[in-house]
């Protein structure tokens, strides 16, 4: 009986020691790096240069969804602005995508959404509706 209690106590301490060790490892190697390093240092900044390495259908989808959302926002604030975006982009998606990709090639250090917004504003005007 004493041996069984001693063995149980020893296994229990070993188990607790392993749990503590696993918790320490988890905190040191998982939580602490995220607490110390800012997110951008780990993930990096998304740039047009990286975007341009994507497959063309992925680029087209990203641009289409970005412009679709911009069009919804524009239409809710100024129907003429929304119509301008839709007319320009959806009349010839391939040419519009190529125009956006050309600007990304010229400015590879900018975020793709910033480039898309700049092209849209150049084509159809500002999204700053409060200033209108």
Q: Where are the alpha helices (DSSP H) in the chain?
A: 2-26, 32-36, 39-43, 48-51, 56-77, 79-91, 93-106, 112-124
The per-residue pLDDT for range 11-59, each reduced to its tens digit, is 444 444 555 555 555 454 545 455 554 444 444 689 999 999 999 999 9
Same domain, 88 and 123: yes
Mark whether 60 and 13 lie in a shared domain.
no
| pLDDT at residue 21 in the model | 56
Q: What whole-number distance in Å separates Cα of residue 116 and Cα of residue 62? A: 10
Shared domain for 52 and 39, answered yes or no, is: no
Q: Are residues 10 and 74 in the same domain?
A: no
Pairwise CA distance, residues 101 & 83, whole Å: 22
Q: Decide: 120 and 71 in contact? Cβ < 8 Å.
A: no
- Which pairs from 2-10 meet CB under 8 Å and 24+ separation? none
Mean pLDDT of 101-110: 97
Which tens digit of pLDDT belongs to each residue from 73-99? 999 999 999 999 999 999 999 999 999
Higher-pLDDT residue of 132 and 25 is 132
Same domain, 6 and 68: no
Do 85 and 101 lie in a common domain? yes
**Quick one: 37 and 64 in the same domain?**
no
Q: How far apart are CA 87 and CA 123, in angstroms?
A: 11
- Indicate if 7 and 20 belong to the same structural domain: yes
* pTM of structure: 0.66
Query: Number of folded domains in the chain?
Result: 2
Q: What is the pLDDT of residue 41?
A: 42
Residue 81 lies in domain: 48-131
């Amino acid at each position: 009986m004493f041996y069984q209690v001693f063995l149980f106590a020893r296994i229990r301490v070993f188990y607790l020691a392993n749990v503590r060790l696993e918790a320490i490892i988890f905190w040191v190697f998982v939580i602490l790096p995220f607490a110390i390093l800012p997110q951008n240092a780990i993930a990096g900044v998304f740039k047009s240069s990286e975007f341009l390495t994507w497959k063309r259908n992925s680029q087209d989808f990203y641009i289409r969804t970005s412009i679709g959302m911009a069009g919804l926002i524009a239409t809710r604030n100024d129907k003429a602005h929304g119509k301008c975006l839709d007319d320009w982009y959806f009349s010839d998606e391939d040419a519009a995508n190529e125009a956006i990709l050309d600007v990304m090639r010229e400015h590879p250090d900018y975020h793709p959404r910033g480039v898309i917004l700049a092209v849209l504003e150049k084509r159809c005007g500002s999204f700053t509706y409060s200033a209108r």
